[in-house]
Structure 1
Amino acid sequence: MNLPSVAELLAEPILSDVSVLAGAAGLEREVADVRWWTGEPASVQDHLVVCGPEPVTPPYRLDALVRRTGDAGAAGLLVVGASVRPLLSSVRLADRLEIPVLWLENADPVVLVQELTPRVRASELVRARVVERLLRQLAPRRTGQDIVAAAEAVLEAPLALVTSDGTNLIGTPMELDETLHLDRPVVQRGRGVLVHPVLDPDGNRPAAWLACRVERAAESRVGVLAAGLATTEPFLRSWLTAQRAHADRDLLFRARLLSEVLAGRDSVSRDVVEGAVSVGWQLSDWHVGLHASCDVRTGSDQQAAVPARLHAALVEHGIALTEAVDRGDGWALWSSTEVEPGTADARALLRAVRLVTAALPREWGLVVGIGRAHRGPGGLAETLAEARDAAHLASSHDFRPAVEHSDELGVARLLATWQQSEVTRAFAETALAPLRSSESLLATLRAYLESGGSVVLVAEALGVHRNTVTARLQQVRDRLGVDLDDPSQRLALQVACRSIGA
């Protein structure tokens, strides 16, 4: 059996208020048992000796107690309930003999011995008692917050529910260090923390991690905490499963509600209006719709991340979206306002969407279409239809991420017709010939034209520094002999780039 050291026992919650007054050099001594001081030193070898205030009152009596317990080979001396601190001579004696002198002013010494003894002698018994108390406390809990709070109270240790990327969901905030392998669904111990996986409903991988601080804890204490985490995990897993089921039902309800709004337009039923109010949709407002989709939709987690990341990033740019609903071929998003958005609002939205999509992972292949502002339930249907058409056109471009606005659809369709003509293709081959040997310059030109002439967007889209973009654009100007500030030349070059990429 691994014996705890005095220092490890000090990590027990029952000794959290103990002060080490002397003999700190002996804190690593192993403790074989806990014994109440009876005045007989013969049987205290490797024991933590506990005494009340009588043997150390008056203070000079501590000298004799330290010497007698030290000569008997005691692991340490714990004084409980004494109000007068020891003399300097007693402290120096304990330091010389390396006998830890521990001081605890407010505690019942009898209860203390009863609690500490099984922790040293029979950690399995302590573990069983903790698990029993934990089960009784967790049974009536229904929320994740209540579950973690009850477990913290029983285990007397800080707990947290943490995602694999380090986000603290519930409990006492704590960091998971880089030594942990959070892709492996096994119990692990890092620097000062013990983590237990909370598995997803399928039981194949961690949905989150239940973390507990274990700094300077004895192995017996770590065993108790590990058992406590294992006991708590099924309750948290059940709660997470219920939360996910509720969220899935909520998503299904919102998707069905949107379908009814799109089908009913301005003649939606009263039930639909009441349902919209219940989820916070103001159907009578002005609406501006967006439609977002990905070229490649791989894992479900990645799919769920797209609208959430897009939504959060737009909020950071001051664009408040009402909702994001999965429509099968992409996500319908929209913002609602009481007053009609102006032209400046439309430009600000377009710029914000372009900035946001450029900053999102390029491997998503994100395309976004934006509709015009329309009012009422029918207006919501109209703007989302326009946004979907704009997204379909954006997906035809080879530039990613691609953003189109419905106001530009007429011009875009005209450009699409031009770029498919033989005359345009011939012009493109000639005009862009000086760049065909440099894929980086051609890609930079294409990105510059598609992003509306924004060096910032080009840098984010290509993953290079803005100075690099500026230098490449200067090379493009030199090789082609064109003025990229001339709108007519930019338009011609944009058609040419789309033509060779079609």
Structure 2
Amino acid sequence: MTGRPRVADLLHDPVLDGVRTVAGAAGTERVVEDVRWYDGDFDGIEGHLLLCGEADVTPLYRLDALVRRAQEAGAAALLVIAGPAQPLLSSVRLADRLRIPVLWLRVDHPVRLVQELTARVRAPEQDRARTVERLLRQLGTKRTGQDILAGAETVLATRLSLVTAEGDAVLGDPVPLDPGLRLERSVPQRGDHVLVHPVLDPDVHRVAAWLACPYERAAAARLDTLAIGLAMTEPFVRSWLSAQRAQAARDSVFQAQLLSEILTGRDSVSRDVVEGAVSLGWQLQSWHVGLHLVSDKPGRPGARNPLVEQFRTGLARHGVPLVGAVNRGNGWALWTSTDTEPAPEDARATLRAVRRVIASLPRDRDLAAGIGRPHCGPGGLAETLTEARDAAELARSHDYRPAVEHSDELGVARLLATWQRSEVTRAFADTSLAPLLDPAHTHLLTTLRAYLESGGSVVLTAQALSVHRNTVTARVQQVRERLGVDLDDPSQRLALQVACRALGV
């Protein structure tokens, strides 16, 4: 049988939501053996949580005698069911000195409160059984992941989230996971401040995500109930994930086929293609700017790629909303659509946004991206996506990451590539970068290359190198001093950028 709760455990129980500890906080580790309503008798209340009504402490000086007698009788704590009135200072000091907790709560149904508290303390197994029954009834009617979590939260009276092993939210809020959790093991676990239950992948029977329930403090019986609640919720979440995956796979195949027909037919697409595009929200007659995202570690084909979702979300935060995202096998085709032709400054803004977002994504995915020029209509969509793919292939050939190329700059990029392979450029690189070629200054050379490739942005350089911006600023200043160059001069920046590429930094 589960041990009795302490006063501090009950303070975090949802049944006492809104309770205030007005005095005697030093005694909240007392064990609560039972619950009793005060009827004027103090016999046999040792270890009890004693509840009393507002009439028992009116006028407020009557609380002094109640506190003293409850302490002498061995009560665990005194819970006053009353309005917002504050106890007298004398009562507070007395309770603090006697170390007996005085709790204050306003409820509309005190009888129900006594029943629920009694069940929590005296019969936690029965309370758990009622919770299980209510949870089954609630979850049986839910179909979406959000509804499943919301239904479980209602019954369990707690906050739930579906998170990755890093604590990032799939559903609900992000949850900081305790370092001591062994998330490589697909078993329910209890941390200091969170309960987690594995949600198995419907296809390969590995952990797909974790149901997480954060808590501050709770009685052992309460934690047992929450753990059972998570275990009961898991099959419903797993079923939803399976349905989501099947739908995503169908959508992925449909979108890939539709885009393939657009790329083939261009301005001669069929009516069925147009109708399919409309159903997906693709505005074929608009102006389009294509993007192509490639990674050396792509996600599972046909499934929704979390990395692509992060990329889309990041661009949206920078004012670049993407309309479509289709897996083309050799990368992801994405694009934006507008009713009017984008201005030249929009292209620069898009390029900056893509660089910022890619720099913020995990570096171990070895990401590269290409951006096409704006084109109009279905044929224009095909054209800009082709340009974006070509630009991405060039970006991928670079030996640095993150790499982003714009189709407007492909001619310049090819010219720079020719320059950096020449013997003259190599000789210039060896001479101009000599003060940084010592192994002790490798970090300065790496910083210079990232700084130049990031367009002189300290923020992007810091993201690319995973260091603080102040570190980048200090290193760039050291580079200026050692090389004796003006990095604000576009000509010198270009020359040094070619030199860095020639050395393969």
Partner of 2:257: 256
Higher gyration radius (CA): 1
Moved more, 367-376 or 20-29: 20-29
Compared CA separation, residues 95 and 140, structure 1 to 2 (3 A)? same
Q: 3-state DSSP class of the match of 2:283? A: coil
Q: Deviation digits for residues 463-485 of structure 1, max 9, x if unmatched? A: 6614523543564467xxx9995
User: 2:429 maps to what in 1?
Assistant: 432
Matched, 1:181 2:181: yes
Alignment partner, residue 207 of structure 1: 209
| Contact residue 214 and residue 222 of structure 1 kept, 8 A | no
Alignment of 1:161-180 (within 5 A): 161-168=162-169, 170=171, 175-176=175-176, 178-179=178-179
CA 1:41–1:305 in 2, change beyond 3 Å: closer, same or farther?
closer
Aligned with 2:479 (options 468, 472, 479): 472
Q: Which residue of 1 aligns with 2:117?
A: 116
Change (3 A) 1:468 1:127: same
- 1:11 and 1:334 map into 2 onto residues whose CA distance is 49
1:400 corresponds in structure 2 to: 401
**8 Å Cα contact 1:310/1:356 also seen in 2:** yes
Counterparts of 1:444 and 1:8, CA distance in 2? 53
Deviations 1:324-382 (A, max 9, x none): 22211112122222223344443444454445545555444333333233221112112
Specify the alignment match of 1:331 in structure 2: 332
Deviations 1:435-474 (A, max 9, x none): 4644747666766776667777666655661452354356
Deviation of 1:194 after TM superposition, in Å, equals 3.7
Determine the C-alpha separation between the residues in 2 that align with 1:86 and 1:418.
83
Deviates more, 1:323-332 or 1:144-153: 144-153
Contact conserved, 1:290 with 1:332, CA < 8 A, in 2? yes
**Cα RMSD after superposing both structures:** 4.5
Q: Which residue of 2 aligns with 1:297?
A: 297
Structure 2 counterpart of 1:278: 279
Match of 2:265, SS? helix
- In structure 1, the partner of 2:144 is 143
> Aligned residue for 2:321?
320
* Cα deviation 1:279-337 (Å, max 9, x = unaligned): 1211112222222223x226659993543344344444443332222211112122222
Displacement of 1:218: 2.2
Distance 1:225 1:24 in 2: 26
Q: For the residues of structure 1 that align with 2:465 and 2:89, how far apart are their CA atoms? A: 71
The answer to whether 1:247 aligns with 2:248 is yes
Q: Distance in 1 between matches of 2:211 and 2:417?
A: 51
Q: Matches of 1:457 and 1:22 in 2, distance apart?
A: 53
Cα distance change, pair 477–460 in 1 and its aligned pair in 2 (3 A): farther
| Unmatched tracts of structure 2, length 5 or more | none
Whether the 8 Å CA contact 1:455–1:470 is kept in 2: the answer is no
How much has 1:52 moved relative to structure 2? 6.7
Give how far 1:269 is off: 0.9
SS at match of 1:115: helix
Corresponding residue of 2:4: 3
8 Å CA contact 1:32–1:121 kept in 2: the answer is yes
Output the CA distance in 2 between the equivalents of 1:134 and 1:66: 40
> 1:144-192: CA deviations, max 9, x gaps?
3322332233223344444444445555x57536545373544444555
Q: Is the 8 A contact 1:445 1:476 kept in 2?
A: no
Q: TM-score, normalised by structure 1?
A: 0.78
Say which SS state the counterpart of residue 432 (structure 1) adopts.
Answer: helix
Match of 1:371 in 2: 372
Distance of 1:451 and 1:89 partners within structure 2: 67
With the length of structure 2 as denominator, give the TM-score of the two structures: 0.77
User: Does the C-alpha gap of structure 1 residues 269 and 122 become closer, same or farther in structure 2, counting only changes over 3 Å?
Assistant: same
Q: Distance in 2 between matches of 1:238 and 1:157?
A: 22
Deviations 1:372-411 (A, max 9, x none): 3322111211222222223223333334333333344445
Give secondary structure in 2 for the equivalent of 1:465: helix
CA distance 1:501–1:23, shift in 2 (3 Å): closer
Amino acid at match of 2:427: T
- SS at 2:142's partner residue? coil
Q: Counterpart in 1 of 2:35?
A: 34
388-397 or 190-199, larger mean C-alpha shift: 190-199
Corresponding pairs, count: 491
Whether the 8 Å contact between 1:324 and 1:334 is mirrored in structure 2 is: yes
Look up the equivalent residue of 1:278 and give its one-letter code.
Answer: S
| CA deviation string 1:116-149 (max 9, x = no partner) | 3332233222211211121112111122332233
Tell me, in whole angstroms, the C-alpha distance in 2 between the residues paired with 1:412 and 1:145. 47
Q: Residues of 1 paired with 2:81 and 2:229: CA distance? A: 29
Aligned equivalents of 2:219, 2:130: Cα separation in 1? 18
Contact map agreement 1:444 1:473 (CA 8 A) in 2: no
Q: Distance in 2 between matches of 1:354 and 1:385?
A: 20
Letter in 2 for 1:205: V
Question: Which residue is equivalent to 1:218?
Answer: 219
Distance 1:66 1:102 in 2: 11
Structure 2 residue aligned with 1:265? 266
Alignment CA distance shift 1:120-1:410 (3 Å): closer
> C-alpha separation between the residues in 2 aligned to 1:429 and 1:287?
40
Pair 1:287 & 2:291 matched: no
Residues 61, 342 of structure 1: alpha-carbon distance in 2 compared, 3 angstrom cutoff: closer
